[in-house]
Amino acid sequence: MSKPDLNLLVTLDVLLAEGNVARAAQRLKLSPSAMSRALQRLRETTGDPLLVRAGRGLVPTPRALELRERVSQLVLDTETVLRPAEKLNLKQLIRTFTLRTSDGFVENFGPDLIARVSEEAPGVRLCFVLKPDKESTPLRDGTVDLETGVVGKTTGPEVHAQALFRDSFIGVVRRGHPLSKGEMTALRYASGRHIRVSKQGSVKGRIDEVLKTLGLERDIVTIVSGFSAALALARHSDLIASVPERHTGNLRAGMHSFPLPISVPEITVSMLWHPRLHSDPAHRWLRGCLRDICARQSHDTSGR
């Protein structure tokens, strides 16, 4: 069975409302002959004459009367669906957004983002989940609405990405640590006892690669999966944590931070989302909130 031509719904709606082929043709900007052909197609499709002669005019059949309200509502619903989205009313928005972020991001940027969202859209809830890898599957299947992190090789090619801020790695130790005083050199830094941050548990990273070019090697005492754990350990021991500066601003409160005495490439932290949400007004608003919060905090950090 062939699929019906849904364009005929609009024609049927106008015909049933006007009860006159000429007036219906005028409303739809068709010729009377074209409208007559459309009526014939409707009769063949529905298996009912729909409009029959009564004197000089046409009157609807019982089937036409039965369809009139349903067809009118269908056309109205279709027009509503195809109409551009109405202006977003944040005060009435009820929605939960799931954000997948790297360890430390929520602790640093979450409080300001939640405050901003709560003020502008009190019916919106943010659900933060940890990001164990850079796979884009959660964005594709809709379990995650927005993600933050460094774009990697496993990031899906269709995923949209927008840079939030650039970040550089720094060293962090507890207050009173021997490295909190005196000139920092590559040798002095490498000679300390270190915490390595790696989600996969790998022993070496880019810092170790740079040290190797200088003929140095750091003593990695322990490996943790996130920046929060690294800073918590460093806060209560003589271990050294090497973390991205802006990503961990709030986590380092009360600790001593210093620029790494070696040249380690900066990273770019971006937000990522799937194309299906690109034009969604509420999602656009959330992206704007996150962008503003990160930009403000980055400015505050660079100004300190």
We report the CATH number of the domain holding residue 118 as 3.40.190.10
pLDDT at residue 303, as a whole number: 43
Backbone angles phi, psi at 124, to 5 degrees: -95, 135
Could you tell me if 113 and 259 lie in one domain?
no
pLDDT band for position 257 (cuts 50, 70, 90): very high
Name the packing angle between helices 32-46 and 7-18 (round to 10°): 110
Residue 9 or 109, more confident = 109
The overall average pLDDT reported for the chain is 88
Whole-number pLDDT of residue 157: 81
SS3 156: coil
Residue 130 or residue 211, greater confidence: 211
Report d(CA 186, CA 112) in Å as an integer.
36
Q: Is a pLDDT exceeding 90 seen at residue 238?
A: yes
Residue 32 in tokens: 């009377």
- Asked which of 82, 116, 143 is the last residue of a domain, the reply is 82
Is 294 a domain residue?
yes
Flag whether pLDDT at 77 surpasses 80: no
pLDDT given for residue 301 in this prediction: 52
Provide mean pLDDT across the span 234-239: 96
Task: Choose between 152 and 28: higher pLDDT.
Answer: 28
Q: Is residue 1 part of a domain?
A: no
Q: In this structure, are 260 and 279 located in the same domain?
A: no
The rounded distance, in Å, linking the Cα atoms of 15 and 61 is 12
Residues 132, 242, single domain; the answer is: no
Residues 215 and 158 grouped into a single domain? no
Q: Is the pLDDT of residue 2 over 70?
A: no
Task: Examine residue 58 and state whether it is found in any structural domain, yes or no.
Answer: yes
How would DSSP label each residue in 59-112? EE-HHHHHHHHHHHHHHHHHHHHHSPPPPP-GGG--EEEEEEE-TTHHHHHHHH
Tens-digit pLDDT profile for residues 147-206: 998 887 777 788 899 999 999 999 999 999 999 999 999 999 999 999 999 988 888 999
Please report whether residue 42 resides in a domain: yes
pLDDT of residue 215: 96
Q: Is residue 110 part of a domain?
A: yes
Clarify whether residues 156 and 291 are in a common domain: yes
Q: What percent of the chain has pLDDT over 70?
A: 94
Give a three-class secondary structure readout of 195-254. Answer: EEECCCCCCCCHHHHHHHHCCCCCEEEEEECCHHHHHHHHHCCCCEEEEECHHHCHHHCC
Q: What was the pLDDT predicted at 302?
A: 47
CA atoms within 13 A on the CB side of 117: 26
CATH (domain of 48): 1.10.10.10
Inside any domain, residue 2: no
pLDDT(53) > 70? yes
Q: Which amino acid is at 291?
A: R
159 and 281 share a domain?
yes
Of 63, 82, 101, which closes a domain?
A: 82
Q: Which of 82, 111, 137 is the last residue of a domain?
A: 82
Write down the pLDDT at residue 13: 86
The boundaries of the domain holding residue 250 are: 169-265
Examine the domain organization and report whether 132 and 160 are in the same domain. yes
* Distance in Å from the first CA to the final CA of the chain: 71
Beta strand pairing status for 193-197 and 240-244?
parallel
Which DSSP symbol is given to 179? G
261 with 173, same domain?
yes
pLDDT of residue 299: 53
Q: 6-45 burial, b if ≥16 CB within 10 A, otherwise e?
A: eebbbbbbbbbebebbeebbeebebeeeebeebbeebeee
Proportion of the chain above pLDDT 90, given as a percent = 54
Q: Are residues 149 and 272 in the same domain?
A: yes
* Cα–Cα distance for residue pair 74/252, rounded to 1 Å: 59
* 220 domain-assigned: yes
115 with 185, same domain: the answer is no
Scan for tokens 């969604």, then name that residue: 280
Domains: count for the chain: 3
Residues 126 and 254 in one domain: no
The two structure tokens encoding residue 11? 């024609």
298 in the same domain as 158: yes
The pLDDT value given to residue 304:
44
Structural tokens at position 76: 């109205």
* 33, part of any domain: yes
Kindly state the average pLDDT of the residues 226-245.
95
